[in-house]
Amino acid sequence: MSNFSSGDAVLKVEGLVTSFRTDDGTVTALDGVGFDIGRGKTLGIVGESGCGKSVTSLSIMGLLPSGVGRIDAGKILFEGKNLATLPEEEMRDIRGNKIAMIFQEPMTALNPVFTAGEQIIEVFMTHRNMDRSAAYKAALSMMEMVKIPDPERRLEEYPHQMSGGMKQRVMIAMALACKPAVIIADEPTTALDVTIQSQILRLMQDLQKDTGTSIMFITHDLGVIAEMADDVVVMYAGQVIERADVVTLFDHPLHPYTKGLLASIPHVGQHRDKKLSTIRGSVPSLMNLPAGCRFYGRCPYRQPECEQTRPALESHKGAHEVACLFAGRIDAGEIKPNYEALGGE
């Protein structure tokens, strides 16, 4: 099921280091991030606030704020090119055309002064060199493809006249307009109600089946990962700490952070007589990271070595990779969690 090791990767990220200049000095937001996205597959990237999942997508798209954020090292390989060093003119041909993006806030991603139709038509005219009437027809068929009811009328509407779900459909229509090889979806359903979220997830799955597009799906929601992903990358404080195919990750998480994350979500069917597992403490500041494992301060399995030695992402079994010095021994039950050592919650 996993395709991390296969050669059929449409996008490959290697050792990506991205930093931001701030008033308080340089912050390394991504520190050696790597993964592949398989052709026609969905890669889920999951992590909490500040883990670097959105910076990863901005780095790939070449959308880091200029003069503030920059890629210091690493490669982003796509169709034989390294996007990390590609000049802006060439990047413009790829962005929105071969790699498209869907954002969390369709209201801010869509231009409020143009109708939905004008915005989709523009995509076709810019990237496909279509004339206006051909672009209109193409836009109409995109609207039908994303199942927007009454598409002729909707093309004439402005973003503020549409509901959140409808705007996200328009965003998806725009993203799909150029038949991209990869769609990067950054929390595309986080702002939506649960019944609308399930419509949009279903739509993305159906469209992927029809078009064969690969999807990089960024979310904080493990439920959405369970619904959508083929493979999963778990990020923590700017690093990839575990990657596996989705079933393996849920059945057999290895990293103490992944274990904690999975255990801390309440599920429908669970009641409060059973206390929720938590991860003690909070994510370390990127300004002040520990020398060794970045999860050290919160890890119930930690050993003295973890404080100074930084674990590399290594294969555990086949394509299942984990960045934990003691993953094998924890998995074998040789190291037990010690919550007392961490102090209060």
Partner 1 sequence: MSDVILEVKNLSVRFPIRSGILQRQTGAVQAVSDVSLQVRRGETLGVVGESGCGKTTLGRAIVRLYEPSEGTVVFRGEDITHKTHKELSATRKHMQMIFQDPYASLNPRKNVGAILEEPLLLNTNMNREERLARVFELMDLVGLRRDAMNRYPHEFSGGQRQRIGIARAIALNPDLIVADEAVSALDVSIQAQVINLLVELQKKLGMAYVFVAHDLAVVQYISDRVAVMYLGRVVELGSSKDVYADPLHPYTKALLAAVPAAHPKDRKKVQPLTGDVPSPANPPSGCHFHPRCRFATDKCKTEAPALRRLGHVDVACHHAEKIKSGEVQA
Phi, psi of 257 (to 5 degrees): -70, -45
**Window contacting partner 1 (CB under 8 A); options: 8-16, 102-110, 245-253, 303-311:** 245-253
**Window contacting partner 1 (CB under 8 A); options: 9-17, 62-70, 151-159, 256-264:** 256-264
Is residue 49 close enough to count as binding partner 1 by CB under 8 A?
yes
Using CB under 8 A, pick the residue from 97, 211, 277, 303 that binds partner 1: 277
Q: How far is the CB of 98 from partner 1 (least distance, A)?
A: 29
Using CB under 8 A, pick the residue from 10, 76, 283, 322 that binds partner 1: 283
Using CB under 8 A, pick the residue from 224, 237, 254, 306 that binds partner 1: 224
Q: How far is the CB of 264 from partner 1 (least distance, A)?
A: 4
Is residue 227 close enough to count as binding partner 1 by CB under 8 A?
yes
Which single residue is written with the structure tokens 């490669």?
75
Is residue 197 close enough to count as binding partner 1 by CB under 8 A?
yes
Q: How far is the CB of 285 from partner 1 (least distance, A)?
A: 9
Is residue 73 close enough to count as binding partner 1 by CB under 8 A?
no
Local structure of 193: helix, strand or coil: coil
Q: Please, which residue, 113 or 194, has the CB nearer to partner 1?
A: 194
Using CB under 8 A, pick the residue from 266, 318, 329, 341 that binds partner 1: 266
Q: Please, which residue, 134 or 191, has the CB nearer to partner 1?
A: 191
**Window contacting partner 1 (CB under 8 A); options: 19-27, 112-120, 121-129, 225-233:** 225-233
* Intra-chain end-to-end CA distance of the chain, in Å: 38
Q: How far is the CB of 334 from partner 1 (least distance, A)?
A: 25
Distances (CA, A) of 308 to 123, 223, 257, 325, 343: 50, 34, 18, 11, 20
Please write down the long-range contacts of 4-10, taking CB distance under 8 Å and 24 or more positions apart.
Answer: 4/35, 4/36, 4/38, 4/231, 4/243, 4/319, 4/321, 5/318, 5/319, 6/38, 8/38, 8/39, 9/36, 9/37, 9/38, 9/39, 10/37, 10/38, 10/39, 10/78, 10/181, 10/182, 10/214
**Window contacting partner 1 (CB under 8 A); options: 95-103, 120-128, 176-184, 269-277:** 269-277
- Percent helix, strand and coil across the chain, each rounded to 5? 35, 25, 40
Of residues 146-175, those binding partner 1 (CB under 8 A): 163-166
| DSSP category for residue 36 | E
Count CB atoms within 10 A of the CB of residue 64: 18
Q: Do the beta carbons of residue 314 and residue 231 sit within 8 Å? A: no
Instruction: For residues 312 and 249, give the distance between their C-alpha atoms in angstroms, rounded to a whole number.
Output: 18
Instruction: For residues 296 and 74, give the distance between their C-alpha atoms in angstroms, rounded to a whole number.
Output: 26
Local structure of 124: helix, strand or coil: helix
Q: Please, which residue, 123 or 279, has the CB nearer to partner 1?
A: 279
Is residue 80 close enough to count as binding partner 1 by CB under 8 A?
no
**In the structure encoding, which two tokens stand for residue 270, read together?**
């669970």
Rounded (10°) angle between helices 132-145 and 116-128: 120
Using CB under 8 A, pick the residue from 93, 193, 206, 314 that binds partner 1: 193
334 Cβ contact partners less than 8 Å away, ≥ 6 residues apart = none
Using CB under 8 A, pick the residue from 247, 289, 319, 342 that binds partner 1: 247
Is residue 22 close enough to count as binding partner 1 by CB under 8 A?
no
Residues of this chain that interact with partner 1 (CB under 8 A) are 48-49, 163-166, 193-199, 201-202, 220-224, 226-227, 229, 246-247, 250-251, 260-261, 264-272, 275-280, 282-283, 344-345
